[in-house]
Amino acid sequence: MKFHKEGYTSLALVILFIFVINAIANYFDANTYITWAVYILSAFLFITIVQFFRSPKKLITLDDGIVLSPADGKVVVIEETDETEYFQDKRLQVSIFMSPVNVHVNRNPVSGIVSYFKYHPGKFLVAWHPKSSTENERTTVVVKKKDGIEVLFRQIAGALARRIVWYVEEGQEVKQGEEFGFIKFGSRVDLFLPIGTKIEVNINDAVVGGKTVIARF
């Protein structure tokens, strides 16, 4: 288990905050109970940040015939829908909600070439809101596999997520299971797959990024 690079600033701020409140508590407070309450709060904050930005090492088994989960979380949507940004036609949508306790590393579901990328500033509706996919801050990535099939996946900010990070650009070759981004504090990732793709998960299933098979071509 390692600490993700996106958490360095947050960890430094939390450590500074812990140092300040503990110094104040020790200097002004003669009440041992309040001092211990500050210690407990400090430990809670530190553990929360460390667990949120944890980045477990994963051995990825590449398979061009499957779609791997792009994130850890819970499947909240499986439906046929109109994808209006890129494909302009009907697709199978699979959405994964990432709670604050999940690993927030985002991974490429397939290997191929990034044929489209766009960042959209937007709102911060709760991640499970139906309009979050089209109105929230988000990125859209399309990867074309070597067989010509394109898979669209979208990072969506939630009510708490105020920063989406991405590591891909158009024309870049990406590998299945490798990191393509990170979202801070509660969010969602949508997948848009060709109609007829065999979905291997169900609503409310817990999935693991880079491990769980979401679908097969």
Q: Is residue 196 part of a domain?
A: yes
Residues 43 and 146 in one domain: no
Q: Give the pLDDT confidence score for residue 46 in this predicted structure.
A: 84
Measured N-to-C along each axis, helices 8-28 and 32-52 cross at an angle, to the nearest 10 degrees, of 180
Residues 44 and 136 in one domain: no
Residues 74 and 37 in one domain: no
Mean pLDDT of the chain: 85
Q: Phi first, then psi: give them for residue 64, nearest 5 degrees.
A: -70, -10
From the list 209, 206, 183, 211, the residue with the least C-alpha distance to 53 is 183
Q: Is residue 61 part of a domain?
A: no
From the list 112, 102, 78, the residue with the least C-alpha distance to 92 is 78
Q: Is residue 60 part of a domain?
A: no
Residues 83 and 189 in one domain: yes
Q: Is residue 138 part of a domain?
A: yes
| Cα(113)–Cα(171) distance, integer angstroms | 6
Residues 115 and 145 in one domain: yes
Q: Is residue 120 part of a domain?
A: yes
Contact between 74 and 207 under an 8 Å Cβ cutoff? The reply is yes
Residues 84 and 169 in one domain: yes
Tell me: pLDDT of 107 over 90: yes
Q: Is residue 124 part of a domain?
A: yes
Residues 26 and 94 in one domain: no
Cβ burial of 31 (10 Å; 0-12, 13-18, 19+) is exposed
From the list 141, 140, 145, the residue with the least C-alpha distance to 112 is 145
Q: Phi first, then psi: give them for residue 48, nearest 5 degrees.
A: -60, -45
Q: Is residue 111 part of a domain?
A: yes
Element (H, E) at 134: helix 132-135
Q: pLDDT tens digits for 66-94?
A: 999 999 999 999 999 999 999 999 999 99
Give the total number of structural domains in the chain.
2
Q: What angle do CA 65, 155, 198 make, to 5 degrees?
A: 25
CATH of the domain at 193: 2.70.70.10
Residues 176 and 95 in one domain: yes
Q: pLDDT tens digits for 14-61?
A: 888 888 888 877 777 666 777 788 888 888 888 777 777 777 777 778
Residues 136 and 191 in one domain: yes
Q: Phi first, then psi: give them for residue 56, nearest 5 degrees.
A: -65, 145
Domain end among 12, 30, 55: 55
Q: Which domain holds residue 6?
A: 2-55
Residues 105 and 198 in one domain: yes
DSSP assignment string, 161-214: ---EEE---TT-EE-TTSEEEEE-SSEEEEEEE-TT-EE---TT-EE-TTTSEE
List, by residue number, the catalytic residues.
Answer: 187
Residues 211 and 133 in one domain: yes
Length of the chain (residues): 217
Q: Is residue 72 part of a domain?
A: yes
Residues 147 and 208 in one domain: yes
pTM over 0.75: yes
Q: What angle do CA 125, 128, 134 make, to 5 degrees?
A: 60
